[in-house]
Amino acid sequence: MKRKRPAIRRRKSGGKSLIVGVRTDREEGHTRVSRGEDFVALGGDREAHEHLRETVAEISDEVKRRGRDLAELPREEFREIVQRALEKTGPAPGGGKGG
């Protein structure tokens, strides 16, 4: 199974950047959506969605701890933050490797 990685979306209009996490496996017929100040988590069964939400929230929190703006993060620094968040939240339910 491919690793699910949160993606960074940069809006060209000068609007706010968002971290978007998506789980497409193990759907139960429910549409799960969690929103934070600068993230959205979509899909997955209850357990997988909660893990995804925790992972994207951890990414958001780390960006804030660093005093950085999501839209201005270099890709390498964003990748490092994602990797640290995945290490903190552990393996995804259902055998996945990421949130």
| Each residue's pLDDT tens digit, 59-75 | 999 999 999 988 889 99
- Cα–Cα distance for residue pair 7/72, rounded to 1 Å: 14
3-class state of residue 21 by DSSP: strand
Confidence category of residue 6, pLDDT binned at 50, 70, 90: low
Q: Would strands 33-35 and 7-9 be described as parallel, antiparallel, or unpaired?
A: unpaired
Q: Is 37 inside any structural domain?
A: yes
Q: Is 96 inside any structural domain?
A: no
Q: pTM of the prediction?
A: 0.73
For 36-49, how does the pLDDT look when each residue is reduced to its tens digit (9 = 90+)? 888 999 988 888 88
- Mean of the per-residue pLDDT values of the chain: 82
- From the list 43, 82, 76, the residue with the least C-alpha distance to 61 is 82
Q: Is 14 inside any structural domain?
A: yes
**Average of per-residue pLDDT across 18-45:** 84
Give the range of the structural domain holding residue 54, as residue numbers without chain letter.
Answer: 7-89
Q: Is 94 inside any structural domain?
A: no
Q: Is 2 inside any structural domain?
A: no
Task: Give the best-scoring range by mean pLDDT among 2-6, 9-13, 73-77.
Answer: 73-77
Question: Number of structural domains, the chain?
Answer: 1
Confidence category of residue 57, pLDDT binned at 50, 70, 90: very high
pLDDT surpasses 90 at 79:
yes
Cα of first residue to Cα of last residue in the chain, in angstroms, is 12
- Cα–Cα distance for residue pair 54/1, rounded to 1 Å: 20
